[in-house]
Structure 1
Amino acid sequence: MLPEEMVLKLQHEKAELEQHLEQEQEFQVNKLMKKIKKLENDTISKQLTLEQLRREKIDLENTLEQEQEALVNRLWKRMDKLEAEKRILQEKLDQPVSAPPSPRDISMEIDSPENMMRHIRFLKNEVERLKKQLRAAQLQHSEKMAQYLEEERHMREENLRLQRKLQREMERREALCRQLSESESSLEMDDERYFNEMSAQGLRPRTVSSPIPYTPSPSSSRPISPGEYTFSATSVNDFWYI
């Protein structure tokens, strides 16, 4: 085989290898970019969900605080009313009898204390019921606060996991780019070493004024299989040992 043909063959194989490496690099880079984009979207979605949960938490705290304040105000009003009624009842019971009461007054005096005591018992029961409602509302508020804190902790852990995964994918992408760059540099060094060996043996390749354009066949558009890639590299190495 003539040196010119060998040079053309090597150039052809080099072009195929460069094309294969470029396609592989583009495929891997696109794949990594898709993963990175997906991770970024997931991170943004988690952050938006976390912000929404925080806003809902703040709204719930404000609502519970308002309900608690309203409940306490109602309780204090009822207690003030109860104290006022107790004072009025005590004043009526402590009033001296200035004149003989009429039968109607006697009947009213007999009935009024019972009604008042019944009303007092009702108010006491109402106060106890409101206190129970207040304790239940406080307990519910504490449970919801604990639930929101737990959800926020899970969201932070998920966000940290996604950030670490994104960092690993970026490091993997950088390592792949370095590996592809080293492969291209190795091919260029092999080509330069071949020309140096040819020059040392006194064989100078013919100067080509217009390079032959490389037109890939329909079958060359697919990625080179590992077997074909090994065969091409072996052919180049066998030629160097001739």
Structure 2
Amino acid sequence: MSSSASNSGKPSVVISQCRLEELTNRLASLQQENKVLKIELETFKLKCKALQEENRDLRKASVTIQARAEQEEEFISNTLFKKIQALQKEKETLAVNYEKEEEFLTNELSRKLMQLQHEKAELEQHLEQEQEFQVNKLMKKIKKMENDTISKQLTLEQLRREKIDLENTLEQEQEALVNRLWKRMDKLEAEKRILQEKLDQPVSAPPSPRDVSMEIDSPENMMRHIRFLKNEVERLKKSLRTTELQHTEKRAQYIEEERHMREENIRLQRKLQREMERREALCRQLSESESSLEMDDERYFNEMSAQGLRARTVSSPIPYTPSPSSSRPISPGLSYSGHTVGFTPPATLSRAGISHYNPPALHVHGSASHAVARPSPRRSTSPDKFKRPTPPPSPNTHSGALTAQPSLPPPAQPMQQPSSQP
């Protein structure tokens, strides 16, 4: 029993010693953690004190900055108030100067507009006269060249018919000569056979024309006739060659003249086209100038009606139509009669076929003695925008790129027939 009890008590002692060591180690670790936590607590306390000191410093600085900001704000407000007063005075001065300059520009632009309208009327009249002269001149030249072309075509056809008749006549004469020669040769052959029969000679085969022509025993009259026929054939051949050469030369001459006439016709058509394009460019330039003046004028009056400036008199010679929102009176010297005459484009525009050009609508106010043509009341705000129309370029130095007008039809082409070779 005692041995068994001793054996059972040994493990319990061992277990208690292990438990004791474990608890001792755990206690040591807890004490170590406690020391670390105390050190951290002291550190956090020091940080908290530092932050409190910093907070107090920041509050003091905030109060100081707020006071300084209030002082600066008061100083800035006083400075801005003084500047506003100075700007108000400057604004009043600029308004007065602007009104004076505006009146001056209005008068200047009115004068330039009148001058531009007079120049436009003169240029249109000059252009109409010049275009009518050029068109009449070109039409006369074209008709003359067409008549020449027709006459030369008729002459060429007549020469071709004469050539064909001459060739036919030559062929008929050649056939007649050959037939006569063959008949004569047949007759001589028959006489030769009769003579051979009389001399009791065997009848030879009919010789060829070459052998007959080369025989020495031929009668003298046959040789003479053959030589005559040869000379006649040579003469006719020479005549045919001469006629063909003359025909070729005349044909080449007619072709060259026709080519020159075509080139002249093309050159005249191009010249007419350049004149039309030149006139169209001038009309477009005048229209653009008036459109620019109208746009600037409209913008100016819209700005004036929107700003609602003070009423003042207008010293322009052109009558002024006030807008519904403006109450500016018109000077007493600008009272014109109430009738309005519509401005129509010049007659040359319709005669020349320029249907796509639409001139600006102009109105004439006043009596016939002092009628003034002008567009709608629009003026530019700067005299630099006024552009004087440039004179039209010369037709010899300017080749237009526009193709607004249809070109004239080309002349009739000559009929070419193949010439029959002999």
Q: Which category describes the TM-score, using the shorter chain as reference length?
A: 0.3 to 0.5
Deviations 1:136-191 (A, max 9, x none): 99999999999999999999999999999999999999999999999999999999
- CA distance change for structure 1 residues 94 and 84 in 2, over 3 Å: closer, same or farther? same
- 3-state SS in 2 of match to 1:117: helix
Does 72-81 or 150-159 show the bigger shift? 150-159
Does 213-222 or 116-125 show the bigger shift? 213-222
User: Does residue 162 of structure 1 match 2:243?
Assistant: no
- CA distance change for structure 1 residues 101 and 172 in 2, over 3 Å: closer, same or farther? closer
Alignment match, 1:238: 385
- CA distance change for structure 1 residues 19 and 90 in 2, over 3 Å: closer, same or farther? same
- CA distance change for structure 1 residues 93 and 49 in 2, over 3 Å: closer, same or farther? same
Does 164-173 or 216-225 show the bigger shift? 216-225
- CA distance change for structure 1 residues 130 and 207 in 2, over 3 Å: closer, same or farther? same
Does 144-153 or 100-109 show the bigger shift? 100-109
CA distance in 1, matches of 2:290, 2:117: 14
State the structure with more CA Rg.
2
Give 1:83 deviation, angstroms: 0.6
Does 83-92 or 152-161 show the bigger shift? 152-161
The structure in which a higher percent of residues are helix is: 1
- CA distance change for structure 1 residues 224 and 207 in 2, over 3 Å: closer, same or farther? closer
- CA distance change for structure 1 residues 120 and 150 in 2, over 3 Å: closer, same or farther? same
Does 27-36 or 155-164 show the bigger shift? 155-164
Does 56-65 or 167-176 show the bigger shift? 167-176
- CA distance change for structure 1 residues 143 and 128 in 2, over 3 Å: closer, same or farther? same
Give 1:64 deviation, angstroms: 0.6
Give 1:17 deviation, angstroms: 1.6
Does 162-171 or 75-84 show the bigger shift? 162-171
Give 1:68 deviation, angstroms: 0.8
> Which structure 2 residue ranges, 5 or more long, are not aligned?
1-109, 333-379, 387-422
Give 1:112 deviation, angstroms: 16
Alignment match, 2:300: 194
Give 1:66 deviation, angstroms: 0.8
Give 1:14 deviation, angstroms: 2.3
Compute the RMSD of aligned alpha carbons.
11.9
Alignment match, 1:67: 173
- CA distance change for structure 1 residues 119 and 199 in 2, over 3 Å: closer, same or farther? same
Give 1:202 deviation, angstroms: 13
Give 1:128 deviation, angstroms: 12
- CA distance change for structure 1 residues 204 and 81 in 2, over 3 Å: closer, same or farther? farther
Give 1:73 deviation, angstroms: 0.8
Does 29-38 or 71-80 show the bigger shift? 29-38
Query: TM-score under structure 2 normalisation?
Result: 0.28
- CA distance change for structure 1 residues 199 and 71 in 2, over 3 Å: closer, same or farther? farther
CA distance in 2, matches of 1:79, 1:180: 94
Give 1:62 deviation, angstroms: 0.8
- 3-state SS in 2 of match to 1:219: coil
- CA distance change for structure 1 residues 189 and 132 in 2, over 3 Å: closer, same or farther? same
CA distance in 1, matches of 2:215, 2:285: 104
- CA distance change for structure 1 residues 20 and 157 in 2, over 3 Å: closer, same or farther? closer
CA distance in 2, matches of 1:188, 1:78: 104
Give 1:94 deviation, angstroms: 1.1
Give 1:45 deviation, angstroms: 1.5
> What does 1:1-242 align with in structure 2 at a 5 Å threshold?
10-94=116-200
Give 1:11 deviation, angstroms: 3.6
Give 1:61 deviation, angstroms: 0.6
Give 1:216 deviation, angstroms: 34
Where do 4+ consecutive residues of structure 1 move more than 6 Å? 95-226, 233-239
- 3-state SS in 1 of match to 2:381: helix
Give 1:15 deviation, angstroms: 2.3
- 3-state SS in 2 of match to 1:222: coil
CA distance in 2, matches of 1:155, 1:205: 71
Query: TM-score under structure 1 normalisation?
Result: 0.43
Does 125-134 or 49-58 show the bigger shift? 125-134
> Which structure 1 residue ranges, 5 or more long, are not aligned?
227-232
- CA distance change for structure 1 residues 110 and 64 in 2, over 3 Å: closer, same or farther? closer
Deviations 1:23-45 (A, max 9, x none): 10011111111111121112111
